[in-house]
Structure formats: structure tokens, C-alpha cells
Amino acid sequence: MSVTIRDVARVSGFSIKTVSNVINGHPQLRPETRQRVQDAIEQLGYRPNLSARNLRSGRSGVIGLIIPDLTTAYFAELADAVMRTAASRGLAVLIEPIGSGRDNELAALRGQHRHMVDGIIYSALTLDAGDAELLKSVDTPLVVLGDTSFDGQVDRITMANTAGARAATGHLLAAGRKRVLALGAHEGEIVASAELRLAGYRQAIEEAGLTFDPDLVCYADSWHRRGGAAAMTKLLKEGLTFDAVFAFNDTLALGAMRVLQEAGVRIPEDVAIVGFDDLDETRYSLPALSTVNPRRDQIAEAAVETLLRRIEGGSELEAHEVETGFVLEVRQSSGGVLTGAEGATTAA
């Protein structure tokens, strides 16, 4: 016989109404309640009748995820986390890679796909605070992922850029490094990931009683391996001295590591390195890369929950903003001892 919602209620110990609220993504539920119901669903192999549910509610059961691209490892892993979280709520995800640039981001907000979904999770790179009214005018429920503040007018999820960067740089300084290179700054940024991570780097330098040295700030237009490799090649040719690198993302770090190793620089003995993003491949680089884990699963969870809250509550709800935590994963590239495929972790 097929498993019913009544069976889930019996195993979880909650009422049929509570189980229904979990399945339908009701936002006003305690995390432990949601988890117990989801555990019962998994245990029994229950599959809700989504077609009937969506017909009753007038919804599609699909949410959109607008991201710059799927070729960048961070966005690919973020998309995976969002899909897993959405699936646990009985939702499908329509992913729309839009490329880089403001024109593409604005076009995505006007695109036909927004009428095919119940709500959108939108990872914006170029929009700024002046676009708050534009985002508010979108008639599809919307949650923005990113670092720009929209003055409490738009639902937004952001990561602990500054605190994570401060912890990464502080870790290198605590290990005895004196000249820590900041790799990946962007000229002219005011409030975006690069600027926030540079702020955290500078805070750690000054908290350690050292003088901030602008010569140790290395700019990189591209946050890809080629950008890290090109920047490190230039620095080595110029003869800049440093004994550690805080790279503003993992792909910059991996590109820089390759150039350093080809130049005969030992990692971490000569130069210690920490990245940011905790991409899966960082566990398997040689040496394994220390990195700031921005808790993508937590970002995905917060984004989906906030979007469901907006879908349920409509435009009358006040805007909701969440900053997720981070974990500093200390591995071989900064002197950590690798145990299996992991190193020590520090959570915040």
C-alpha cells in the first residue's frame, strides 16, 4: 500500500495539519519540528501529490534561481544546495544562468521565466542600493543573494564576508606570518564581496598591531584561476616579498598556488595560503587548501525559507535580511594537519 500523510503524522508524532504545513513550506515552524517531519518522510519514502497540491493552491511548485553562470564552481555548488533544499520542501528549481553584466541582470528581472515560477532567488553582482525600487517593482516574490544593502526594502541573504576574511587573515598572523598578501581586490568597489573581504583583512592586520600596507593589496579583475595565476606571476616578477596569502576566493588561491609551486616556493613553509568559498576541490588540492566555508547549505536554507515566507505572506510583509555564519577550515596550505580529507575547523 502507498504511504499516506497520515502515516507520516503517526511516525513523526505530529498532527496531519503540522505535516501538511511542512510539506507546503509553511514558514512559521520550528526547525526541529520541520526536521522530525522530514526524517519521517525520508524513512517512509512518502511522496506528496504535488500536482493536486499545486492545483489547489494555484501555484506551480517551481521556484527560479537566477545566477551569473554554472561554469564557476561556487555558483554550481550553490545551485546544487538550493535544489536540495527546495526538493526537501517538495519544490522544483528552474535555473537561469544569465552571464555577467548589469544589462543581463536587468533583463533577467524582465524575462518571461519569472511568470513561470512562484518566486525567484536572485544572485546579483552589479545591482546597487539605488536599484531598491526596481527590485520592489518586480511582481514575482523575490529574494536577493548578495552584499548590497537595499535599506531594508528587499528580502536579502548575505554571507559573513568581513568576519570570514578577518578570521582567515587573523589565522595567518597568529601562525607567525608578518606580510600577508590580500589577493583579489577590485578597484573602485564600495560595497561588494571584494571590498568587504578587504575590510576584514585590514581589520585583522590592525588588530594584530601591524600597519596596513597598500603594497600588499593585489588587484585582480577576474576571480578565476587565470586571474590568480596572472596576479601571482606579476608579483613574483616585481619581487614583492610576502610570507602568506589571503585570496578572496578559492579559485584565485588555486591559480596562485600553481604559479608559486612552479617557481619553487614551498607551501606552507615559505608562503601560507587561505582561500574563501570552501569549494569541493579544495579538499583535494596539493596541499589541501585552507579556506573560509561560507555555509552554502545555510545560505540555501535561508533563501528558500525566506522566499516561501514571501510567497505565503505577499508584499505586505516587512523585508527580511539574513547574514549566514562561516567556518574557517584549516588545512595543509596554512600549516594545518590533514586528517582524512579534512583539517581543523573554527565556526562562527
Residue 110: helix, strand or coil by DSSP? Answer: helix
Report the helix count and the strand count for the chain, using DSSP H and E. 12, 13
Please report the pLDDT score of residue 132 as a whole number: 73
Please report the pLDDT score of residue 340 as a whole number.
45
3-state percent helix, strand, coil for the chain, nearest multiple of 5: 45, 15, 35
The amino acid that residue 104 corresponds to is N
Cα 267 from Cα 286, distance rounded (Å): 9
Cα dihedral across residues 174, 177, 181, 183: positive or negative: negative
Successive 10-residue mean pLDDT values, the chain, 348 residues: 82 88 74 87 76 54 89 92 91 86 77 77 79 75 82 85 96 96 82 88 97 94 90 96 97 97 97 97 96 95 92 80 94 76 53
Give 227's Cβ-side CA count (13 Å radius): 18
What does the alpha-carbon distance between residue 287 and residue 268 come to, in Å, rounded to a whole number? Answer: 8
Given the DSSP bridges, would you call strands 142-145 and 120-123 parallel, antiparallel or unpaired? parallel
Amino acid (1-letter code) at residue 242? F
Quick one: pLDDT at residue 3? 80
